[in-house]
A and B are shown apart, each in its own frame.
Chain A
Amino acid sequence: MMADQTPDCPNTGERDLAQLYLAGRLPDAEAQAFEAHYFECEVCSQDVLGGGGLRELFGRPAVAAAVAPARPARAWLPLAAAAAIAFVGIGVWQLARRVQVEPTVLRSAGAVIVDLKVSAHAGGGFDVSWAPQPQAATYEVQVFASDSTRLWRTETREPRVSIGPTVLSAPAPGSTYEIRVEAFDSLGQIVASAEVAAARNP
């Protein structure tokens, strides 16, 4: 047996990058960095293309799809605006000068992620948590402003994230955000999702 010497690229000996990439298990930012790398690296390119061919030979997709890109137009906007007006109207925002959050599930696709909760940081930002999904390998969390601009996104294997205050800087009183959580299985297919509207005061 030949000695197990690491090939020219150190990635090959240290992590299962090509395998995770093909299985759709790399977080998006890491997947993109790996793509930029394997365009230049013959060793990793060989692992990606050879692995893709073998996956197909074994009846799997050559490469699992990337998570869906953000969708700019949002049918929930009128409802979110109405919720924000009502929220402000009942004077809840006057109860304290600290951040207030009133989550309302507005829409979901496929299976619903249940128990989606949002709680506010004292200094701004939110903690978001939800019930673990049995089929989920990863979760994607995105925050959108009321004009549908995506402010932030991350991927996590845990059923919770913390969203820092800098993501949501300088909000107008009663500003609303949409926080969307999508669960993906090991093949990168969406298995559950939920959205919550969160409003906060200065």
Chain B
Amino acid sequence: MEGGRYSEADLSALPGPETAQLESFRDRLRIFAARRTRDWAAAEDVAQEAIGRALEAMRAGRIENLAALPSFLFKTALRLCFRRTRSAGREARALQKFGAGDEAEAAENPLTALLSAERRSSLRRAFERLEPDERRLLEMTYRDELDSEEIGRRLGLSAGAVRVRRHRAIRRLADLLGVTKQPDRALEE
């Protein structure tokens, strides 16, 4: 990425508890950055750079308390995204000026790369192992994009009960995928 200093090789060459701790934030960083940059490759870069900077800060003693780590990563990723979207905007305008680019096209870049093909397959298998009422609730939420009030009306539940059952179903998916103790490593490794 623009100004990127950290490669995956850099991080993998530095095994240790700090690296494992930081890696647990990678998917959070990816989804955060994908929403802002509209570009999954850029989101990967932002996640990598933020983790690299946090590792550097931890080793330099600038993050003494691990409780401060989420906030450090969030602010670092926010700055990286801001810088990147500004650069991307300048580049798109320059290309558009010369008729070689389309900003709208970039804006429509679909964010469909959270899951690799392998992870998607594992998720599908786990989903099929859920109870029918759990699958129905998750389909209504994420396929049909219904809100909890509407789902509750259809299922005869309160909105609060829908939310709790939905979270429980997601947690069960994580159990089935073996990532319950590392919920922030997405759904499957």
- Name A residues whose Cβ lies closer than 8 Å to a Cβ of B: 2, 4-7, 12-16, 19, 22-24, 31-32, 35-36, 38-40, 42-43, 45-66, 68-69, 71, 73, 109-110, 186, 189-190
Find A53's partner among B28, B74, B186 (CB 8 Å cutoff).
B186
* Pairwise interchain contact B141-A39, C-beta atoms closer than 8 A: no
Please determine whether A39 and B127 come into contact, CB atoms closer than 8 angstroms: no
* Residue B89 lies at the interface, judged by CB distance under 8 Å to chain A: yes
**Contact among B108, B111, B148, B167 with A46 in the assembled complex (CB-CB below 8 Å):** B167
B89: nearest chain-A partner, CB-CB:
A71
- Determine the distance from Cα of A69 to Cα of B107 in the docked complex, in whole angstroms: 11
- Given A36-B71, A36-B74, A57 contacting B167 (CB threshold 8 A): no
Asked whether, in the complex, the Cβ of B112 is within 8 Å of the Cβ of A40, the reply is: no
CB<8 Å pairs between A and B, sample of 17: A5-B164, A7-B167, A12-B164, A19-B145, A23-B145, A36-B74, A46-B170, A46-B183, A51-B170, A52-B31, A52-B186, A56-B114, A58-B143, A63-B35, A64-B35, A65-B107, A66-B38
A-B contact count (CB 8 A): 160
Q: What residues of chain B lie closer than 8 Å to A69, measured between beta carbons?
A: 82, 85-86, 89
List of B residues within 8 angstroms of A13 by Cβ? 160, 163-164
- Apart from A4-B164, A19-B147, what 19 extra A-B contacts exist at CB < 8 Å? A23-B145, A36-B71, A39-B28, A46-B184, A48-B31, A50-B186, A53-B114, A53-B115, A53-B123, A56-B112, A56-B115, A56-B120, A58-B139, A59-B143, A62-B115, A63-B114, A65-B111, A69-B89, A71-B89
Given known pairs A42-B184, A69-B86, the reply for A16 and B167 (CB within 8 Å) is: no
At the interface, is chain B mostly helix, strand, loop or mixed? helix
> Within the assembled complex, what's the spacing in Å between the Cα atoms of A74 and B31?
31
Which residues of chain B (82-121) have a CB below 8 Å from chain A? 82, 85-86, 89, 93, 104, 107-115, 119-120
Say whether, besides A46-B171, A57-B123, A4 and B183 are in contact (CB < 8 Å): no
- Residues of B within 8 Å of A, CB-based: how many? 58
A125 CB, nearest partner CB in chain B, Å: 29
Q: Taking each of B73, B82, B115, which has the highest tally of chain A beta carbons within 10 Å of its own beta carbon? A: B115
Q: A53-B115, A69-B85, A73-B93 are in contact. Are A46 and B174 (CB under 8 A)?
A: yes
A61 in complex: contacting residue of B86, B110, B127, CB < 8 Å = B110
B166 vs chain A, min Cβ distance (A): 8
Contact with A along B1-45 (1 / 0, CB 8 A): 000000000000000000000000101100110111010000000
Assess whether B53 is interfacial by the CB under 8 Å rule.
no
Q: Say how far A124's CB is from chain B's closest CB, in angstroms.
A: 31
Q: Tell me the complex Cα distance, A154–B162, Å.
A: 31
The minimal Cβ–Cβ distance linking B116 to chain A, given in whole angstroms, is 11
Contact of A4 among B74, B93, B112, B165 (CB under 8 A): B165
A45 and B25 alpha carbons, distance in the complex (Å): 10
Taking CB atoms, residues of chain B closer than 8 Å to A35 are 32, 74
Does B178 lie at the interface of the complex (its beta carbon under 8 Å from any beta carbon of A)? no
Q: Which residue of B lies closest to A109 (CB)?
A: B104
**Docked CA distance A56–B104 (Å):** 22
Given contacts A4-B165, A54-B138, A189-B108, contact A47 B115 (CB under 8 A): no
